[in-house]
Amino acid sequence: MNIFIKEALEKVFLGLFCCCIIMACTKSSLPVDSKILIRGNGSEAESVDPQLVRSESAGNIVRDLYEGLLTEAADGSLIAGVANTWSFNPQTQCHEFTLRDNAKWSNGDAVTADDFKRGIEFALDAKNLSPYSQLLEPIALIQVESPKNLNLCVKNPVPYFLELMALPVSFPRHINSTNKNPISNGGYKFVSWKPQEKIVLQKNSNFHSEEDVYFNSIEYITTENSSSELKRFLAGELDITATVPPSDVSRLRESHASELRIAEVLNTYFYGFNISKAPFKDNLNLRKALSLAVDREILVEKILGTGETQAWTLVPPKMRSYQAPDVKYQIWTREQRVVEARRLYVLAGYSESNPLKFELRYNTSPLHKKTAIALAAMWKSTLGIKVELYNEEWKVFVQNRRNKKTQLFRSGWIADVNDASNYLELLTTNHPLNDYGYSNARYDELLEQSKTATSKRISILQAAEEQMLHDQAIIPLYYYVSKHMLNDNIIGWEDNLLDHHLSRYLSRK
């Protein structure tokens, strides 16, 4: 037997043996009466400042630390937060909020209307570079009527405005709070942060519903490698995982079905072009060729295979009151798409003797790596393209995207609110998260029109998405499902379209 084959087989059998040991683990590391919740949390959080968070991992932590005027129930529905009553005055175009009397900061100070004013103004101040500031731009005036009465007056009616009040960007801001020593008003308060390891939170004794919060402390564990995270879960070191590697889902359905949670969410996975520079600048034919050369059926069924569905649009299904525009290529056969991709590739100026070469960047994750390798292989076999893959740690990846040090890169969008505009505004020219360099005057104008439209609002948004898809600003790939492993003794978890799961609703059997 070839020695290299022999060594490879030994590694395989060793891996299978270790896997069996892990699968047999009794999870003795986590005592059933433990009031410490240990959550895998994906990439390192970039901040715990609610107005500055950008990633899903940071958002998870901030939603435990802070509470907005409104908040989310376990099922994702809107409920009272710091505000216990609210109404809209159509004459003044103001949303009027009354704050609960027992709302306090973790240091014992009362939460006031001024604290919310401070948070919103911080986000809207351009020098602070708040990544989600654009969500608050409908606010024209902030009126503090009293310490417990706040009016937020809008330029035009916003159908999803109340949902914005449950987002971190609109959370209150204590005058003395800092990223290193945050003062919070949610179910938990900050204790410590060990970079690339964990963030520890403790129950906030000053929280208005402290008696309903079960866990005394939360440990958010940085887990960029989802395979390693799964091993830690199966070894009893985690209560919840941030995700699950697609390649493990099949066996987990058989061996750990009661702990595997897969649910539909409002998430889209796509690749973003940097349209501001070569090779994709001013080359629509090339961008379309790359999109058509992707075999989405193979991607979702063979590469992923955990319930994801093919994406040809940015806005995902299940979006409230919205139907994405039709894409003609979607109903074509695979063979038709390949023929067209090759034709466009030649029109774009490339050929077998002059192949395209470009860089594809993605942040650390087995899923992202697996997807990147699969697509690079598709482009190689279909068009002869040479792709250089770059795997980057999250903060480096985000910085390179922001600075346009990219050509093609992994991207995705997780809905902040259940409205199509939340996806489409991402690609407007001046959006702080427009890492794509996409700029189209008609697209921008349609998004502006949608802000004041009433009966025609949805059709305007559909026209905008149709324009962006025509310009091939992105390559839609698939619509996510959320994938988590959840310890059998954890209760209170409810699947929801935004995949938000506040620790205050969880407890242990």
- Tens-digit pLDDT profile for residues 329-357: 999 999 999 999 999 999 999 999 999 99
Average pLDDT for 465-474: 98
Q: Are residues 160 and 280 in the same domain?
A: no
| 22 in any annotated domain | no
Q: What pLDDT does 260 receive?
A: 98
| 429 in any annotated domain | yes
Give how far Cα 411 sits from Cα of 97, 268, 355, Å. Answer: 36, 9, 25
| 424 in any annotated domain | yes
Tell which of 145, 170, 195 closes a domain: 170
Tell which of 105, 139, 170 closes a domain: 170
Residue type at position 485 = M
- The whole-chain average pLDDT of the chain stands at 92
Q: What pLDDT does 442 receive?
A: 98
Q: Are residues 283 and 165 in the same domain?
A: no
Alpha helices in 148-300 (DSSP H): 161-164, 226-234, 246-255, 284-293, 296-298
Q: Are residues 315 and 429 in the same domain?
A: yes
> Is residue 28 predicted with pLDDT exceeding 60?
no
Q: Are residues 156 and 285 in the same domain?
A: no
> Residues of the chain with pLDDT > 70: what percent?
94
203 neighbors 188 (Cβ within 8 angstroms): yes
Q: What is the bridge-based pairing of β-strands 139-146 and 94-99?
A: unpaired
Q: 384 is in which domain, residue-wise?
A: 266-482
State pTM to two decimals. 0.84
432 exposure class (CB count in 10 Å sphere: 0-12, 13-18, 19+): middle
Residue type at position 224 = E
Q: Are residues 271 and 148 in the same domain?
A: no
Q: What pLDDT does 179 receive?
A: 83
| 239 in any annotated domain | no
Q: What pLDDT does 20 receive?
A: 41
| 414 in any annotated domain | yes
CA pair distance 398, 96, nearest whole angstrom: 37
465 neighbors 312 (Cβ within 8 angstroms): no
Average pLDDT for 132-158: 96
Tell which of 121, 146, 170 closes a domain: 170
Report the CATH number that the domain containing residue 365 is assigned in CATH: 3.10.105.10
Instruction: Give per-residue pLDDT as tens, 73-87.
Output: 999 999 999 999 999
Average pLDDT for 209-223: 97
CA pair distance 501, 41, nearest whole angstrom: 12
**Angle of CA points 361, 365, 370, to nearest 5°:** 75
CA pair distance 269, 271, nearest whole angstrom: 7
Residue 162: Cβ within 10 Å count:
17
Q: Are residues 144 and 277 in the same domain?
A: no
Q: Are residues 445 and 319 in the same domain?
A: yes
Q: Are residues 161 and 278 in the same domain?
A: no
Instruction: Report how many domains make up the chain.
Output: 2
Q: Are residues 283 and 145 in the same domain?
A: no
Report the CATH number that the domain containing residue 128 is assigned in CATH: 3.90.76.10
- Does residue 430 sit in helix, strand or coil? coil
CA pair distance 227, 241, nearest whole angstrom: 10
Q: What pLDDT does 3 receive?
A: 34
337 exposure class (CB count in 10 Å sphere: 0-12, 13-18, 19+): buried
| 285 in any annotated domain | yes
> Is residue 139 predicted with pLDDT exceeding 80?
yes
Q: Are residues 160 and 282 in the same domain?
A: no
Average pLDDT for 401-415: 96
> Is residue 212 predicted with pLDDT exceeding 70?
yes
| 224 in any annotated domain | no
| Residues in a beta bridge with 411 | 270
Q: Are residues 340 and 452 in the same domain?
A: yes
> Is residue 17 predicted with pLDDT exceeding 60?
no
233 neighbors 485 (Cβ within 8 angstroms): yes
291 neighbors 472 (Cβ within 8 angstroms): yes
Residue type at position 17 = F
279: preceding bond cis by omega (within 30 degrees): yes
| 333 in any annotated domain | yes
- Does residue 419 sit in helix, strand or coil? coil
Query: How confident is residue 2, by pLDDT bands cut at 50, 70 and 90?
Result: very low
Non-local (6+) Cβ contacts of 180 within 8 A are none
Q: Are residues 312 and 446 in the same domain?
A: yes
CA pair distance 286, 98, nearest whole angstrom: 54
> Is residue 25 predicted with pLDDT exceeding 70?
no
